[in-house]
Amino acid sequence: MEREYDAVIVGARVAGSATALCLARLGHRVLVVDRAPRIGDTLSTHAVLRTGVVQLTRWGLLDRVIAGGAPPSRRMVLSVDGATMPLPADETGRVAALYAPRRHVLDNIVLDAARRAGADVALGTSLTGVVHDATGRVAGARLRSTAGERIVRACFTVGADGLRSRVAAAVGAPVLDHRPATCAWIYTYVAGVGTGDLEMFYGSRRIAGIFPTNDGLANVYVGVPVTEADRVRTDPDGLFHETLATISPSLAERIRAGARVERFRVSTGLPALVRRPHGPGWALVGDAGHHKDAASGHGISSAFRDAELLARSLHASARGDEPERAALAGFEARRDALSHRMHEAVCGLASLDWDGPGAIAHLATMGEAIDRECDVLWALDTAGDTAPVAA
Ligand SMILES: Cc1cc2nc3c(=O)[nH]c(=O)nc-3n(C[C@H](O)[C@H](O)[C@H](O)COP(=O)(O)OP(=O)(O)OC[C@H]3O[C@@H](n4cnc5c(N)ncnc54)[C@H](O)[C@@H]3O)c2cc1C
């Protein structure tokens, strides 16, 4: 049977929409599906760090994020054991500010861009399985919506369907690294507390932060050891304020002086997980392929990075520049070369097992890894589709 699409992409948030955008702009026929009937908020705070801003800029979408009401943060202010370190958004001048857009705003901007680039979009559509051809290669997706079940034939089925990826399960994607959850999170939205900076606080083996987001609100969060997950679930209000006071009494006072305008959202802990991101007829991108703790503030940025790296590899293979296996192995090598140091540092930070100098060392490693990936992404337009990346 003739293939209907070059790629069917499962998941229409940051990883899936960005992959669809990049592939559609390279001239491929793409279908992106999501089981959600609309792309609203999801369990996530909002920092888009330098890598993410570089990608939004390169894709011509940053203006839409700004027009959507996300305020610019020209500084990131790190506070470790009470000592404050203000850092410019970017020292290279590529990025003027960092942003923390609400997910219903950001994710829809990328999805709309994919649609405008020619991708077909089907919301309210779940993947229930994959189909194989006679050689065992994945040859498409089994999809269900209110209209019933259908099979969509595609050269590639891409799982952008998050940590618990159904695509990964269906293709038996090997797990290369798994580390249990160490950190649990509570966040909410508060009016009247923002300084305009992205503020992150580390101390007493706890983490907190304030991200200025849409509608004049601050997205305020705390991270606590996963051993406190029961209390995260049953008493988020009490634990939230207690954690702020433990890290910094003045921070706690500031937040108490503001007005909380939304309920608490919680994550009781998620593992760090790396999967092999490709095989015959399938690929994984975003959290489905590489998930790290929210302590990174970098899941959105990683998704944007890997979406483009994958799209370029698929394009190189479709164009005949590289055999498929080599192109996809190249994608995995580039992903890993750019994410390995960051992954170790994030696992270290999320362990909450550090003193002040230990936290600073993890943050410095993350900063260096981000600088490296910004350099690589910025050079992509001149470096060719699949240039190797040194580890
Ligand atoms: C508490 C918390 C705070 C965070 N804060 C930040 C932060 O400040 N900055 C940052 O960069 N990152 C942050 N992250 C991480 C970030 O949210 C993720 O890395 C990011 O959302 C991953 O995007 P994704 O597109 O890969 O997957 P997801 O956002 O998980 O999207 C997957 C999509 O796939 C769809 N889907 C799943 N299964 C199916 C199926 N069978 N059929 C069809 N569709 C399906 C889902 O409906 C969903 O829309 C945070 C995470 C948490 C938990």
pTM of the model: 0.96
Q: Is 199 in the pocket of ligand 1 (CB under 6 A)?
A: no
How does pLDDT run along the chain (391 residues), one tens digit per residue?
446 999 999 999 999 999 999 999 999 999 999 999 999 999 999 999 999 999 999 999 999 999 999 999 999 999 999 899 999 888 888 899 999 999 999 999 999 999 999 999 999 999 999 999 999 999 999 999 999 999 999 999 999 999 999 999 999 999 999 999 999 999 999 999 988 999 999 999 999 999 999 999 999 999 999 999 999 999 999 999 999 999 999 999 999 999 999 999 999 999 999 999 999 999 999 999 999 999 999 999 999 999 999 999 999 999 999 999 999 999 999 999 999 999 999 999 999 999 999 999 999 999 999 999 999 999 987 655 555 555 5
Claim to verify: residue 19 and residue 123 sit in the same structural domain: yes
- pLDDT on residue 1: 43
Q: Ligand 1 centroid vs 389 CA: distance in angstroms?
A: 26
Query: Is 107 a domain residue?
Result: yes
Claim to verify: residue 156 and residue 206 sit in the same structural domain: no
Whose C-alpha lies nearest to ligand 1, atom 2?
44
Looking at 216, 234, 267, the residue that finishes a domain is: 267
Length of the chain: 391
Looking at 200, 234, 267, the residue that finishes a domain is: 267
Q: How many helices (H) and strands (E) does the chain have?
A: 11, 19
Residue 2: count of CB within 10 angstroms of its CB: 4
Q: How many folded domains does the chain comprise? A: 2
From 270, 285, 287, mutation site for ligand 1 pocket: most ligand atoms within 8 A of C-beta: 287
Claim to verify: residue 277 and residue 352 sit in the same structural domain: yes
Looking at 243, 267, 291, the residue that finishes a domain is: 267
Q: Domain residues for 253? A: 183-267
Claim to verify: residue 207 and residue 248 sit in the same structural domain: yes
Query: Is 93 a domain residue?
Result: no
Query: Is 231 a domain residue?
Result: yes
Claim to verify: residue 255 and residue 311 sit in the same structural domain: no
Claim to verify: residue 215 and residue 348 sit in the same structural domain: no
Q: Is 268 in the pocket of ligand 1 (CB under 6 A)?
A: no
- pLDDT on residue 132: 97
Q: Is 36 in the pocket of ligand 1 (CB under 6 A)?
A: yes
Q: Ligand 1 centroid vs 291 CA: distance in angstroms?
A: 9
- pLDDT on residue 381: 76
- pLDDT on residue 253: 95
For position 165, which CATH number holds?
3.50.50.60
Claim to verify: residue 108 and residue 233 sit in the same structural domain: no
Whose C-alpha lies nearest to ligand 1, atom 44?
34
Claim to verify: residue 263 and residue 279 sit in the same structural domain: no
Claim to verify: residue 113 and residue 28 sit in the same structural domain: yes
Q: Ligand 1 centroid vs 249 CA: distance in angstroms?
A: 32
For position 213, which CATH number holds?
3.30.9.100
Query: Is 91 a domain residue?
Result: no
Whose C-alpha lies nearest to ligand 1, atom 48?
11
Closest C-alpha to 268, from 211, 304, 224:
224
- pLDDT on residue 93: 82
Query: Is 389 a domain residue?
Result: no
Claim to verify: residue 298 and residue 174 sit in the same structural domain: yes
Query: Is 341 a domain residue?
Result: yes
